[in-house]
Each structure stands twice: as structure tokens, then as C-alpha cells.
Structure 1
Amino acid sequence: MGRKKAYTESELLDMTKKLLLEHGYEGFHVKLLSQHLIGARSTIYQYYANKEEIVAACMKRVIIKVIEKASAVDESNPMVALQQLLQVYVEESEFHQLLGDANKINAGVSVAVAQDLEYIEQSHEILKVQLMRLFGRSLQEGHLREDIPIPALISVFFNLVNAPNMMKLPLSKWSGLLFDMWLNGAKR
């Protein structure tokens, strides 16, 4: 009977996410990961062949959670749905910045990396289509200004995700405040 692994794949990906957030893509490496996991470095290679596979799998795992939460949003009221989507995005705001590093990963390293990166790209498209649909309905229902093009509204909306929560508010309050500022502005 073989020796039990000291950590699960889920624990490995949790630690990968933590280390990516702390060190960025360039500062992350397998040795660093193994230093933060209890067990032999060789256990990592039972799950993934290299850094690129680990990072791509970690990114895919996060985007799967975002897609699941975004898909669960009730779209019957498009403005409420947009506010809920913003909260979903804010919950993963730190990792959102790292998803920008997906283009740094060499998709040619393995089939697994290429497939995970393709999934991430398709997921972004799914989220974009959902936002376009909700913004279109919000505009049709008269909730948004007609003089601002939808791509501009979406761009500013999506960039709210990167706003630092300097007041350390709970995420639901923070995303609500961001949504209110986006929708109503800062004027009196």
C-alpha cells in the first residue's frame, strides 16, 4: 500500500492561489509552493507536471467558481442582477488581476495548459455576453443613460472590481457602495 499524500489537489490549488496573490506569476514557482505544503515536492508532480499546469489549473478553478455564481444570478431585474454580479466579481477581485497573467503562460507546454487557458478565454466570453445582455436590457428599460455607449458603461463597471477596499468594508457593503457610485455618481 502506497504512502498517503500529505495534501489534496484542492489544498495544492488553494495554496497556489494564495502564493500567486502574494508573489505574482513571475514570483511563483514549484519550489515556493512545495515550501508551503506539508509533504514531498514530488507529490505536486503527481497532480501537475510543471508551474504552467499548476497556475492554469488554479486560474480555471477560480473562473469556474465565478461562472457558477454568475450563472446563478436571477436576471429578471437587470439592475439588481448587475449589482449581484458586481459582488461576485468583487469577491474574486484580487485574483481578477492575476487572470491578466494568463497570457504569460505558455499554452504549448502541455495539452492540459492549452485546454485550461481555452476554458478561461471561453469563460470570459460567457461573462461578457451576460454583461452585454443585462446592460442592453437595463438601457431598454430606461435605467441607464442613452448617451453613454454600452461598452463604456461595461468598461467602467468592470474596472470597479479593481478599486481597493481601503475602508475594509464587508464585501457586500463594498460592492454595494461601488455600484451606487457607478450608477449615481459622486455629485450631490
Structure 2
Amino acid sequence: MMAKQKMNINELYAVTGKILVEKGYAGFHFKLVSDQLNVSRSTIYEYFSNKDELIASLMVHLMDTIMAEYDGLDRISEPLEKLRRIFDSFMKYAHLHQILLFAPFVNGESSPSVKKDLVTLRQQHHTLTRVLTEVIDACKEAGSIRQDIPSSLVASLLFQSIQIPKNKTIEDAEWSEMIFRVLLEGYGTRDR
């Protein structure tokens, strides 16, 4: 009998995410993953019974990573500084959002663990949206953001800003700062 192959779950998640972005949900299968990790498909099946289980588990893992960024928000007193921290994490993890876009394709009925992971993913998304909206509302109360703009619009603009193609000649921190400033101050001149 052959010895059971070991597999690093973080490597599995990294390869899974990479293949999802390159091939899409329909083009994703365990053979591609096993080839890149140099393990047998049966090794992957020891951890996940189908691709939906693996993808759903990866998505929860990614959201856990993103949500961990918000643990220290309570220690920040200035609402605009909190908003900036949330925005910076959006930009930092922009590549992860590409993977999370595949959530609607995952078959929630393929197993109980997939169903559970998709519920967790929805809860995490609602928590993230609630935290963001609360911070936006606090910024409005502090006078940092205009009161006449709906908080949902501000949240959508912040979420969607990760889709802006990054200029490769600009450092990540500078790019993030530039986009945040444009969102906060607009792109018109002050003496219009």
C-alpha cells in the first residue's frame, strides 16, 4: 500500500485561485491542480470531494483573510482614517476579489459543506458591507463625506475601485492614495 501524500492547504488554495482566474469556473478541474502541485488527484479528493467544495472553502479562506484586516478598526478613532484602512485593504486584496466573483457559479447543492461555506461567505459579505456602511456614516457625521450622497453609492464606488486597471509605473501605495483622493475630493479643480 502506498503512503498517503501530504499536501499544504495554503499551496492548494494558491494554485486553485490562480487556475480559477486563468481558466474560469468551467475550465477548473482537479487534474490542473494536481499537475501544478505534483500530487495525485486522489490526494486532493482526500481533502475535498469535488471542485465546488474546494472553491467554496477557498472563498471562505480568502474572506477570512480580508476580514482579519478589520480586527483593529475599533482602536482607530478618526472615521476617515478607518475608511482609508478599509479602502487600503480592498486595494491590497484586489486580486482576491477576482476569485470571489466565481461564487455564483459554485453549486451550493453539491454537498453540505459547500452549502455551509456559501452561507458563511454571504454572512461575511454582509458583515463587510455593514462595517463599511457604518464607517461611511461616521465619516458623514464627522463632515468628511457629503451628507447628500447615499452611503450605498459611496460603498459601491469604494468596492468597484479595485477594478480600475493599475498603472504599472506607479507604486501600490501611491496608486491607492491617488484613487482614494479622487474618490474623496473628486477630479475637478477647486476653482471651477
Q: Displacement of 1:99 after TM fit?
A: 1.5
For the Cα contact (< 8 Å) 1:57–1:116, is it kept in 2? yes
TM-score normalised by L of structure 2? 0.91
Question: For residue 69 of structure 1, what is the aligned residue in structure 2?
Answer: 69
Question: For residue 103 of structure 2, what is the aligned residue in structure 1?
Answer: 102
In structure 1, how many angstroms separate the alpha carbons of the residues matched to 2:3 and 2:69? 37
In structure 1, how many angstroms separate the alpha carbons of the residues matched to 2:174 and 2:72? 20
Residue aligned with 1:61, SS: helix
Question: For residue 186 of structure 2, what is the aligned residue in structure 1?
Answer: 185
- 1:63 and 1:185, CA in 2 relative to 1: closer, same or farther beyond 3 A? same
Question: For residue 32 of structure 2, what is the aligned residue in structure 1?
Answer: 32
In structure 2, how many angstroms separate the alpha carbons of the residues matched to 1:54 and 1:39? 16
Return the structure number with greater relative CO, CA threshold 8 A, min gap 6. 1
For the Cα contact (< 8 Å) 1:75–1:134, is it kept in 2? no
Question: For residue 46 of structure 1, what is the aligned residue in structure 2?
Answer: 46
In structure 1, how many angstroms separate the alpha carbons of the residues matched to 2:15 and 2:6? 13
- One-letter code of the match for 1:89? F
Matches within 5 A, 1:73-92: 73=73, 74-92=75-93
TM-score normalised by L of structure 1? 0.92
Percent of residue pairs bearing the same amino acid type:
30
In structure 2, how many angstroms separate the alpha carbons of the residues matched to 1:107 and 1:5? 28
- 1:44 and 1:137, CA in 2 relative to 1: closer, same or farther beyond 3 A? same
For each residue in 1:42-95, what CA deviation from the matched residue of structure 2 results, as whole angstroms up to 9, or x when unmatched? 100011001101111111110000011122334411111111111111122122
Does 1:148 find its partner at 2:149?
yes
Q: Displacement of 1:146 after TM fit?
A: 1.7
Q: Which runs of 5+ in 2 are unaligned?
A: none
Question: For residue 22 of structure 2, what is the aligned residue in structure 1?
Answer: 22
In structure 1, how many angstroms separate the alpha carbons of the residues matched to 2:116 and 2:68? 19
- One-letter code of the match for 1:106? N
Q: CA RMSD in A?
A: 1.7
Q: Which runs of 5+ in 1 are unaligned?
A: none
Q: Displacement of 1:14 after TM fit?
A: 1.5
Question: For residue 167 of structure 1, what is the aligned residue in structure 2?
Answer: 168
For the Cα contact (< 8 Å) 1:87–1:171, is it kept in 2? no
For the Cα contact (< 8 Å) 1:21–1:94, is it kept in 2? no
User: Across the two proteins, how many residue pairs are aligned to each other?
Assistant: 188
For the Cα contact (< 8 Å) 1:53–1:113, is it kept in 2? yes
- One-letter code of the match for 2:14? D
